[in-house]
């Protein structure tokens, strides 16, 4: 809140910091796994499904954040998805998996897609795209080792491992991702590079 007694010169000469999401799929996923409490990672009632779907959810989170770099090709409206969306989603995912029943796929997709992330989305076409992307990563096939997240199969569902194991898998990902992982043509990179250079 503004106040008259605080000297303006202190603000003008002060250092201002902002926290922005990391750039790139690899950095984004690594941040998601680094900030996760290690005790929360273990102890789910369905550990295999939890760890595999958590990896897919982190990948989804990185994809929706990184699509912004393509401008109007990525989203019709630029959305500010953030870490709280991911934290809410993985908490809900864990709660669903702790229930004594089969994995409720439709409920997970609805809550994550329509509420956690979809609550920010105002454009109908963007909402449709968001749910389509989510459906690609959160499904029964994802529980199979090696399920491809991209056409080149460069990104795929890894085997169940420890938290440090997932971090090492993320470290092995390419530093620069191709547009095909976002479901886009190589020409989308031209748009991104032009806008970034401007």
Per-residue model confidence as pLDDT tens digits over 121-159: 999 999 999 999 999 999 999 898 888 888 888 888 898
The verdict on residue 74 lying in a domain is yes
pLDDT at 190: 77
CB proximity list for 57: less than 8 A, separation 6 or greater: 86, 89, 90, 93, 112, 137, 138
Residues of the chain whose pLDDT is less than 70?
1, 21
Question: Positive or negative CA dihedral for 95, 97, 102, 104?
Answer: positive
Query: Both tokens of residue 60?
Result: 């989804």
Residue 63 sits in which domain range? 20-197
CATH of the domain at 103: 1.10.8.720
Name which of 121, 29, 116 is nearest 74 in CA terms.
Answer: 121
For position 58, what pLDDT does the model report? Answer: 93
Inside any domain, residue 38? yes
Residue 125 covered by a domain = yes
Number of domains in the chain: 1
- Looking at the domain assignment, is residue 13 inside a domain? no
Q: What is the pTM of this model?
A: 0.84
């Amino acid at each position: 809140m503004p106040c008259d007694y605080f000297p303006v010169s202190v603000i003008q000469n002060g250092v201002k910091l902002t926290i922005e999401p990391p750039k790139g799929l690899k950095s984004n996923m690594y941040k998601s796994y680094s900030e996760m409490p290690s005790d929360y990672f273990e102890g789910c009632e369905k550990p295999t499904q939890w760890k595999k779907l958590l990896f897919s959810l982190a990948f989804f989170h990185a994809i929706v954040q990184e699509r912004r770099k393509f401008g109007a090709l990525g989203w019709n409206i630029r959305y500010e998805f953030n870490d709280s969306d991911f934290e809410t989603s993985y908490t809900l995912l864990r709660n669903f998996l702790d229930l004594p029943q089969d994995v409720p796929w439709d409920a997970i997709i609805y809550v994550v897609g329509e509420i956690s992330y979809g609550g920010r989305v105002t454009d109908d076409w963007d909402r449709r795209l968001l749910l389509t992307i989510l459906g690609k990563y959160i499904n029964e096939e994802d529980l199979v080792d090696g399920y491809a997240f991209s056409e080149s199969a460069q990104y795929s569902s890894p085997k169940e491992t420890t938290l440090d194991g997932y971090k090492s898998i993320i470290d092995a990902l390419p530093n620069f991702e191709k547009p095909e992982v976002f479901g886009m043509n190589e020409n989308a990179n031209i748009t991104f590079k032009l806008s970034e250079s401007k």
